[in-house]
Structure 1
Amino acid sequence: MTVAVPATSTIDLFSDDVLRNTEAVFAELRELAPVVYLPANDSWVVTRYEDIRDALGDPATFSSRAVAFNEQMNEILSGTSLASDPPQHGDLRAVLTDNLSPRAMRKMKAGIYEKADELVRELVERGSFDGMADMAVHFPVSIVLDLIGVQGDLRERILPWGEAAFNLLGPMNQRAQESLPIAGELFHWTHEEMRGEDLAEGSIGRNIWEAAERGDISHESFGYIVHQILAAGMDTTITTIGNALVLLARNPEQFEKLRQDPKLVPAALTEVLRVKTPTPAFGRRTTRDVEIGGTVIPEGAQVALLYGSGNLDPRKFENPETFDISRNAVDHLGFGYGIHACAGQGLAKLEIHGLLEAWATRVKSYRVGEVVQRLNNFTRPYDSIEITDLVPAGE
């Protein structure tokens, strides 16, 4: 086998320009090589769909002990299912997935759909609103905080805590440094202050506490798991709801297709996740020398798996830039793949399916005006989305 000289690029994955133009930059990297070394991040980026999926399916080689791009955060995350490998990962994941099982989701469906329809009805009556604050943020925050059992004035503090935690998954740049004290409040509460009695009876948070009391997991793991759900259980869902509103407005023929056939709601969500991946890059660390496409990534290297690049890889998806809700790209990487596939995806799907179904049922047409992006090291959220010219269904 002939080993290629590694392709390199001066791109910084976490620069403002890349955060604003992620898909275009990822396309450049993807066409440069299947693996590209970035000196600015001291990282080896894997750019193409099949290679990313293979890496996600090989946790023995691509360890999750470096999901973040700084050592301080990787140490903090040690002991969570997000940043652990087998066999430890299985035990931690089980506590999380037991409370987010398909059976548990089925019990929640009617209530979540009812709340989604009520919210959409109120927003349609308004006629114009901020798609982020009034829908994308409001809905999942209320659902997740109820699910965890967070009560009182703490509910107002959770969202900024979660966003700060995501900034800390990148390098220790200015965004991460500014987020440290905010994310530290979340860590302090979940690991030092929170008790089972602080969480509502029957909630997932209370159930996890009781698992720690029984000895199924350590009390330290209890804090980590709740921390993980609160930090990650809202922000990616919020980002995806905002992306759905923008994509459907900018592709009105696709929104009309959804209106005519609401059964396309699940396929519409997969296409949103494919075209605008909410967490476009995740970290890993190699446990051995590994060859991809003729390039050897050395043992102990920081790797960036570019989910957002794989989801737009023309080697996998025909006309990948086209937003087509009938594509039904169920094998997208928006929720990851393998043992670390998003544990909360069942809940995220319920929330977003409920909103999209209500939106397609109650809205005939709408338009987005000004759309403002918010820069985050790990997610790609909007700060605001102006929803205008909304015509209710039946008019």
Structure 2
Amino acid sequence: MLETQDNQGGMHGRPVLDVDPFSQEARDNPEAFDRAVRAAGPVAWIPKYGVWITGQDAVVREVFSDWRRFSSAYGTGMTNVIREEPWRKPSVILEADPPVHTPNRKVLSRVLSVPALRRLEADFKREAERMVDALVERRRFDLAEDLAFAFPFKVLPDAAGLSPDGRHHLMPYSTLNFNAMGPKNALYQEARRVVEEQGTFEYVSAQMREENIRPGSFGAEIYAAAHAGEITMEEAGMLVRAFISAGIDTTVFGIGMTLVALLERPEQWDMLRADPELARPAFEEGLRFNAPSPVIGRTTSGPTELAGVQLGGEEKVLMWLAAANRDPARWERPDEYDITRRPVGHLAFGVGVHGCVGQMVARLEAEAVLRALAARVKRIHLTGAPEKVNINWLRGYHSIPVEVEPA
């Protein structure tokens, strides 16, 4: 419901969207929620949490593009990490602004450069083909668990130099990370209980240390930068942590939702099979159509105006990327999934100085999976209803039961 409260509510003149973005209803009906956010106007106040929300492309871009007015240093989730105790030490890449952000971003960008990723491309391709061959031989399997999850959980930790032992901790830790970015609701409490009972915090702390990183890996290159004086040793450990907490789930769910979009549209799958070069556009369009990380936050560094609305200082602004990625002011036929579209400019990876530094890794992983599957599978059939995840800050599937027809 869109309304304007009076002075007694302390919100005079502020457009209000009286919803809970993190309710079960919103998770069960994501497209309806996204439409409501766009319809609320350029920016609206959510009284339940005392935050702003925007789902319009132009407004989201304005917020992304001005880190001085809309800071990441207060945390990119609901918690103001400067004023409140965060569940873990803030990230030096995601939850930092220049100048702290700059050297860390520079190191991570070099480690994940195009030449570095080209060296991994053959390994990713080979592993994707191996996994897909084994699954096609089985015919019936879970597309989410056995491929969309299994592939990134193998190749990214390998590339980062993490030990093969204890990787079952990766998913619970990442799930807590993304639940913690939302409200401290039952989803957060359950995720925290799981990692505490399993000893996951101890695992992550150990994996961040240099002595546990495999030589020649991304993690080793990060520590080499610390030894060269570009960043501190503590910052190096925090950058390694980013591979554990932020680099897997979003890719997993992005691949899974892209595959569901394709199997629900056989004509799109046939186009991909006929032209493997459409693998990258298929993933990009998948991210636009169903953003796995539908929201990211910023905090006003002081009073400012956004889209004609006056915002106060240190107020959270939730950029609802899933809504903005279907903004009809930006996209033609926004509610259609079309792999022949050129979805250049979608917001799933962000823009500006805080644009996702690992986006090329995600693209490389997804392309390897889509190419391998399209080369070996004529048709994918659901054998049951896909099951959605329940995570505050993410969308996706934890189960996609299928049967495939080999090519």
TM-score (norm 1): 0.94
Moved more, 95-104 or 17-26: 17-26
Structure 1 partner of 2:96: 84
| SS of match in other structure, 1:153 | coil
| Mapping for residues 157-172 of structure 1, pairs under 5 Å | 157-172=169-184
Instruction: Work out whether residues 67 and 97 of structure 2, in 8 Å CA contact, stay in contact via their aligned partners in 1.
Output: yes
Cα distance change of structure 1 residues 294 and 152 upon mapping to structure 2, 3 Å threshold: closer
CA distance in 2, matches of 1:148, 1:75: 24
Structure 1 partner of 2:316: 302
- Quote the offset at 1:79 in angstroms: 4.8
- 1:261 aligns to 2:269 (yes or no): no
CA distance in 2, matches of 1:42, 1:218: 36
Structure 2 partner of 1:381: 396
| Mapping for residues 151-300 of structure 1, pairs under 5 Å | 151-182=163-194, 186-191=200-205, 194-300=208-314
- Map Cα deviations across residues 103-151 of structure 1 (whole Å, 9 max, x no partner): 1011111111111112112111111100111001110000011112121
| SS of match in other structure, 2:381 | strand
The structure whose RCO (Cα within 8 Å, separation 6+) is larger is: 1
Cα distance change of structure 1 residues 118 and 218 upon mapping to structure 2, 3 Å threshold: same
Cα distance change of structure 1 residues 152 and 29 upon mapping to structure 2, 3 Å threshold: closer
Kindly report the root-mean-square deviation, in angstroms, between the aligned alpha carbons of the 2 structures.
1.8
Identity of aligned residues (%): 34
Instruction: Work out whether residues 80 and 224 of structure 1, in 8 Å CA contact, stay in contact via their aligned partners in 2.
Output: yes
- Map Cα deviations across residues 29-61 of structure 1 (whole Å, 9 max, x no partner): 211211110011211001200110121011111
Which of residues 48, 52, 56 is equivalent to 1:48? Answer: 56
Aligned letter for 1:179?
A: A
| SS of match in other structure, 1:299 | coil
- 1:7 aligns to 2:15 (yes or no): yes
| SS of match in other structure, 1:370 | coil
Cα distance change of structure 1 residues 181 and 96 upon mapping to structure 2, 3 Å threshold: farther
Structure 2 partner of 1:349: 363
Instruction: Work out whether residues 52 and 317 of structure 2, in 8 Å CA contact, stay in contact via their aligned partners in 1.
Output: yes
- Quote the offset at 1:183 in angstroms: 5.2
Structure 2 partner of 1:61: 69
Instruction: Work out whether residues 91 and 242 of structure 2, in 8 Å CA contact, stay in contact via their aligned partners in 1.
Output: no
Which of residues 113, 136, 141 is equivalent to 1:129? Answer: 141
- Map Cα deviations across residues 215-265 of structure 1 (whole Å, 9 max, x no partner): 322222122111112111110010011101110011111111111111111
CA distance in 1, matches of 2:282, 2:164: 36
Cα distance change of structure 1 residues 101 and 187 upon mapping to structure 2, 3 Å threshold: farther
Aligned letter for 1:213?
A: H
Aligned letter for 1:361?
A: A
Which of residues 325, 331, 339 is equivalent to 2:339? Answer: 325
Aligned letter for 1:210?
A: A
| Mapping for residues 89-128 of structure 1, pairs under 5 Å | 89-128=101-140
Aligned letter for 2:14?
A: P
Instruction: Work out whether residues 206 and 212 of structure 2, in 8 Å CA contact, stay in contact via their aligned partners in 1.
Output: no
Structure 1 partner of 2:154: 142
- 1:372 aligns to 2:387 (yes or no): yes
Structure 2 partner of 1:32: 40
Instruction: Work out whether residues 169 and 203 of structure 2, in 8 Å CA contact, stay in contact via their aligned partners in 1.
Output: no
Instruction: Work out whether residues 191 and 220 of structure 1, in 8 Å CA contact, stay in contact via their aligned partners in 2.
Output: no
CA distance in 2, matches of 1:337, 1:194: 28
Moved more, 77-86 or 300-309: 77-86
Equivalent residue pairs, number: 389
- Quote the offset at 1:5 in angstroms: 2.4
Instruction: Work out whether residues 213 and 219 of structure 2, in 8 Å CA contact, stay in contact via their aligned partners in 1.
Output: yes
CA distance in 1, matches of 2:119, 2:207: 31
- Quote the offset at 1:373 in angstroms: 0.8
TM-score (norm 2): 0.91
- Map Cα deviations across residues 269-328 of structure 1 (whole Å, 9 max, x no partner): 111000100111111001133323321222211110111111010111011000111111
Instruction: Work out whether residues 271 and 325 of structure 1, in 8 Å CA contact, stay in contact via their aligned partners in 2.
Output: yes
Aligned letter for 1:380?
A: R
Cα distance change of structure 1 residues 7 and 245 upon mapping to structure 2, 3 Å threshold: same
CA distance in 2, matches of 1:276, 1:145: 25
CA distance in 2, matches of 1:54, 1:147: 34
Aligned letter for 1:31?
A: A
Cα distance change of structure 1 residues 186 and 210 upon mapping to structure 2, 3 Å threshold: farther
Instruction: Work out whether residues 255 and 283 of structure 2, in 8 Å CA contact, stay in contact via their aligned partners in 1.
Output: no
- 1:20 aligns to 2:28 (yes or no): yes
Which one has the bigger helix percentage?
Answer: 1
CA distance in 2, matches of 1:148, 1:262: 28
- Map Cα deviations across residues 72-113 of structure 1 (whole Å, 9 max, x no partner): 575844351100111211111112121111110111111111
- 1:70 aligns to 2:79 (yes or no): yes
User: Unaligned 5+ residue runs, structure 1?
Assistant: none
- Quote the offset at 1:214 in angstroms: 3.6
CA distance in 1, matches of 2:85, 2:153: 24
